[in-house]
Structure formats: C-alpha cells, structure tokens
Structure 1
Amino acid sequence: MESGRRWSARGAAVLVSAVALVTGLLPAPPAAAANAVFQAATLNIYHGLSRADFVADLQLITSKADLVGLNEVGERKDYLQDWAAANGWWYYAPEPTSAAQEALLARKSMFDVVDKGSVFVCDTNGPGEVPPARYNNWVSYRHKASGRNVVHVNAHLNASIESNGRPEDLPRTRCAEEQIQNIKNLAASKKDDGQVIVSGDFNIDFSADRAYGYEKFPWKVFEANSLPNLRSVYNLYGEKGTGTHTSGRHIDYVYFWKRVPEHQVMWMTDYSIVGGTKSDHDGVVATFAIQT
C-alpha cells in the first residue's frame, strides 16, 4: 500500500512537470497590462433620414466608439465637419460627394492624423447616375497611448449584388468585385504602415457568402485564405443578434488585418451590434487591444 502511494506521488510529479513543459512551449498570450484598448465602429446612416434622426444616429454611434466609419453621409458633409470640430473629432470626407459618402471619424483625445487618402474604384452607370461611383477612403492615425499607427479603411459596396450568397450577373456586381479586391490590396499595402482596420456596409450577408463561397466575394477574398489577411467580427466571434439590416442579414462589417501570431501587436477581442438606430442599419462596434 505504501509503495502504491509513493508511485502515485511520483506519477503526479511527472505529470505536473510534463504540463509545465508543454505550457512553457506555448506562445504567451498578450499581457493585458501592456495593452491599450479602443473601439472601432461602422454605421450606414440612411441618407433619407431627417436632420434630427441623422443626429440621433451620429450621437449614438460616436458614444460607443473611438474610430467610426460612416456610409451614405456625403450630403451631410458640412454638418459633419462642424460637428466634428465642435466635439473633438477628426473628420475626413474627400471630394467629390460620392467619395464623401464614406466618412471617417476619430477622437482627437486618442488619435492624431498621420496621412489620409481616397481611391476611386469604379462608376457603374456613369457620372451622376445610380448607383454612385465607389471610393475606398482611408486615414492613418497615430494611437497616442501605444505610439503605434492604425490605418482605418472605410467602404460601401453596391446594393442588390447577391441572392443568398450567389452573385447577381449585373454591372454593379462586377463593380463591387473590383472594390472588394481593391480593399484587399489597399489593406495589404498599408499593413507595413500600421495596424489595419476595415469597416463598411458590404451588402453581402456573411453566412450566405460563407456557405456559397463565391470566389470574388469577401469570404473567399479575405477570410478563407491563410494568414496574414483580413478577418471579420463574424468570423472571429460569430453572428450576434438577428442581423445588421432590416432584411435580417449581417451585411455591415468590421475587419482587421490579422497577422501570424508572432507578428501580431493588435487583437480584435470582441464586438457588439448597436441597435436602436433610426437608420435601416444597426451599428457594429469592435473592441481592439493594441500593444503598448
């Protein structure tokens, strides 16, 4: 009996040592104390809202995040510029109005502007026609707490380009395909300048896109590929709620450029859907931790 107890004790000691060895070989998780946290959001504020409803949605989403990408706000440019100046936000919405639809906001208390730009992608039906020309806008910020650069890309794809994940054979779909690839190229080109976040209304349902897997839509272009590449809130943390649009689809996205683990210094740690908007879209807010 005594020898059995000695054997059990020796076996337990060996097991503990083995566990300690394996644990020591695993990559250490980021230390929470060494990370700074911020939120990045997207919201398509329907262009037909009244001024009061527009302001309500703007105040709602900016109360939840530190970086914000807005869609369909080109006609509100003057108001947004004045609002940002009065409330401590950086604001970028380039000319022409079609480009200004995809605006970017950042808290001045948390970020400084390093660089910014806009990429014309395509104009499906010609100048002034519906749908309007598509632009991918971006701003590179210096995150004050960490000293690291964060590049925010904001975009809005054409509507009515997919049915249950299947692409519609339309000129506007081909325009969207160009825009998706340009987003990927833009993110890849900015990854050495900072940590990349992409936001926007993509008008493609996440689960339908993943199930069908059309090669020129976001799941295949961004998320089905090996790292480094873009990864969305839905890929990492699942689809929450009943959709981000009144159609019930999850079509509003926040992505980040996910690197191989040894080179990752920014992590998406969770997200939430912000309801109660006046728009036909809800907002999406992702939480990020960035190494200081």
Structure 2
Amino acid sequence: MRSAGRWLARGAGALVGSVVLVAGLLPAPPAAAANATFRVATLNILYELTQAQFVEDLQLITAKADLVGLNEVGGRKAYLQDWAAANGWWLYAPEPTQAAGEALLARKSMFDVLDKDSVFVCDTNGPGEAPPARYNNWVRYRHKQSGRSVFHINAHANASIEENGRPEDLPRTRCAEKQFQDLKNLAAVKKDQGQVIVSGDLNVDFSADRAYGYEKFPWKVFEANDLPNLRSCYNLLGEKGNGTHGNRHIDYIYFWKRLEEYREMWLNDYDIVGGTNSDHNGVVAHFSIAL
C-alpha cells in the first residue's frame, strides 16, 4: 500500500510537472491594454429658451462630459465665454454668429488646445436669410493623459430636409448634402493627424436614413462602407431611448473607426440625456483611448 501510494504521488507529481511544462510552452495571454477614458456630448440648445433655461441645459450636459459640441448657441457667445473661463473649460465659438452657433467646449483639466478652425459650407438663401449659413467647426486637442491628438468636429445641418429618409427637393437639402460630404472629407483629412470625433444635429433620422439609403445622406456618406470610416453610436450600439428630437434620432456622435490593428480609440457606450428644456435630448458617448 505504501509503495502504491508512492507511485500515485510520483504519478501526480509527473502530471503536474507536465502541465506546467505545457503551460510554459503556450503563449502568455496578452496583458490588458492600458486605456484612459473620456466622454463626448452633443446637445442642440434651442435658441428660443430663456437665459435661465439655457443655463440649466448647459450645466446638465457639461456635468456629463469632457468634450461638448453645442448647436444654436451663437446668440449666447458672450455668456459662454464668461462661463467657460469661470468653470475651467476651453471654448471655441468663432465669428460670425452663425459659426458661433456650433460651439465646442473642452475640459481644461483633460485637454489642451493645439489648433482650431471654422469652415464655411453654404448659405442657402443669402446673408441674413433663413436658414442661417452653415459652418463646420473643429478643434484639435491634446489629450493630456495619453498625449494623443483628438479632433472634435461639430456641425448643424439644415432642418426639414427629409421625410422618412427621403430627401426633400429643396435648396436647403442640397446645402445639407454638401455639408455631409464636407464633414466626411474633413474627417478623412484629420484622421491622419489624430483620432477624430464628429458631433451635431444632422436633422436626418438614423433608422429612416438607413432604411431608405439616400446616397447623399449620412448613412451612405459616413457609414454604409468599408473601414476605416466614420461610425455612429447608433450603428455600433443600437438606438436607445425614444429619440433625440421627438421620436427621431437626429443628433449624432461619430468617430473615425480604423481597422482593428490600427485602432487607438474606441466608442464603448452612449446615453441619451433627457430632462432638457430644449426640444432636443442630448447624447453622451463614452470613449477609451490607448495610453
């Protein structure tokens, strides 16, 4: 019995040794990548709100994000300048007022400003006429923790340009079509210099656009194509909530999604932010970026 016990012990020891040997020959599991996180928001704050209502919406969305794209805030530029200076935010709200409407905010504790510009797109009916002239604004930031460049592009397309995904045959629609292509081209240029995020009220419903598939609207221009390219939070993670404007998902956050072996930034999740005074809900996307 004693020798049998010794044989079992030796057998068990040999088995353990062989497992250890085999395990030593297998490739070690990759170490978890070190990442930093930040949040990006978009909110169209209706220009007709009272000042108190505007401030409530501004505080609501900035409490939930580190980069923020706003729409319809051109008339609030002076207030935004004072608010940003007092609360630790960078503000980019360029002239003229129509361009300032698509303002960009960044938390100073997380980002430095490297460069910025505003690109005129079109003016459907001429200066001072409705709808206002359209601009695509962008800022290049340095994400302090990772040292990486992050571009935030913000835009607001004309309203009343689609019906169930079908384009309306109007001059304002053709202006929006140009803006979508300009956004795509701008993102494609900037992606060679850093990570790219696009936000804004595009006034085209995600589901209707995807179902109809008009060639010059966001689904076809940005998303219905091979990588690398822009991808929205709705494409990657599905539509949440009832919508961002009534029952329509028209306020977007995109990022330039690269092939996996070149990917340095990820969109992990997003939330619809209700409880606003505006006629829009906000969107907050959760990003991680490689250190």
TM-score by length of 2: 0.90
Distance 2:192 2:111 in 1: 18
The residue number in structure 2 matching 1:31 is: 32
Shift of 1:136: 0.1
Secondary structure at the counterpart of residue 239 of structure 1: coil
Gaps spanning 5+ residues in structure 2: where?
1-21
CA distance in 1, matches of 2:41, 2:192: 23
Q: CA deviation at 1:261?
A: 0.6
For 2:152 and 2:193, locate their aligned partners in 1 and report how far apart those are by CA, in whole Å: 11
- For 2:201, the equivalent position in structure 1 comes to 201
What's the offset of the Cα at 1:192?
1.3
Map of 1:3-82 to 2, 5 A cutoff? 31-32=32-33, 34-82=34-82
Q: Give CA-to-partner distance per residue, 1:181-226, whole Å, 9 cap, x none.
A: 0000000010011100000000000000000000000000010010
Match of 1:271 in 2: 270
User: How do 1:40-189 residues align onto structure 2 when only pairs under 5 Å count?
Assistant: 40-189=40-189
The aligned residue for residue 237 of structure 1 is: 237
Whichever residue aligns with residue 74 of structure 1, its letter is: G
User: What amino acid maps onto 1:120 in structure 2?
Assistant: F
What secondary structure, in the 3-state scheme, does the structure 1 residue paired with 2:146 have? Answer: coil
Q: CA deviation at 1:145?
A: 0.5
Corresponding residue SS for 1:115? strand
SS at 1:118 equivalent: strand
Give secondary structure in 2 for the equivalent of 1:193: coil
Distance in 1 (alpha carbons) for counterparts of 2:86 and 2:79: 11
Whether 2:216 is the aligned partner of 1:251: answer no
CA distance in 2, matches of 1:228, 1:186: 14
Q: Map Cα deviations across residues 83-138 of structure 1 (whole Å, 9 max, x no partner).
A: 00000000001000010000000000000000000100000000000000000000
Aligned partners of 2:32, 2:39: CA distance in 1, in Å?
A: 19
Which residue number in structure 2 is paired with residue 14 of structure 1? Answer: none
Describe the superposition over 1:220-249 as per-residue Cα deviations: whole angstroms up to 9, x where unpaired.
001001011100000000000000012x10
- Supply the AA of the counterpart residue of 2:98: S
SS in 2 for 1:186: helix
CA separation in 2, counterparts of 1:280 and 1:290?
Answer: 32
In 1, the alpha carbon distance for the partners of 2:166 and 2:153 equals 26
Residue aligning to 1:287: 286
Matched residue of 2:90: which SS? strand
What is residue 13 of structure 1 aligned with on the other side? Answer: none
Letter in 2 for 1:260: L
Counterpart-to-counterpart distance in 2, 1:41 and 1:31: 27
- Greater gyration radius: 2
C-alpha distance in 2 between matches for 1:188 and 1:223: 13
Query: What is the CA–CA distance in structure 2 between the aligned matches of 1:205 and 1:161, rounded to whole Å?
Result: 10
Amino acid at match of 2:272: I
Counterpart amino acid of residue 121 in structure 2: V
Shift of 1:73: 0.1
Alpha-carbon distance in structure 1 between the residues aligned to 2:194 and 2:54? 32
Deviation at 1:64, TM superposition (A): 0.2
Q: Deviations over 1:20-63 (max 9, x none)?
A: 99xx7x9x6x935x000000000000000000000000000000
The residue aligned with 1:9 is: none
C-alpha RMSD of the superposition: 1.8
Distance 2:52 2:237 in 1: 34
Alignment of 1:205-216 (within 5 A): 205-216=205-216
Could you say what secondary structure the match of 2:158 adopts?
Answer: coil
Q: What is the letter of the counterpart of residue 37 of structure 1?
A: T
Which amino acid is the alignment partner of residue 78 of structure 1? Answer: A
Gaps of 5+ in 1: 1-16
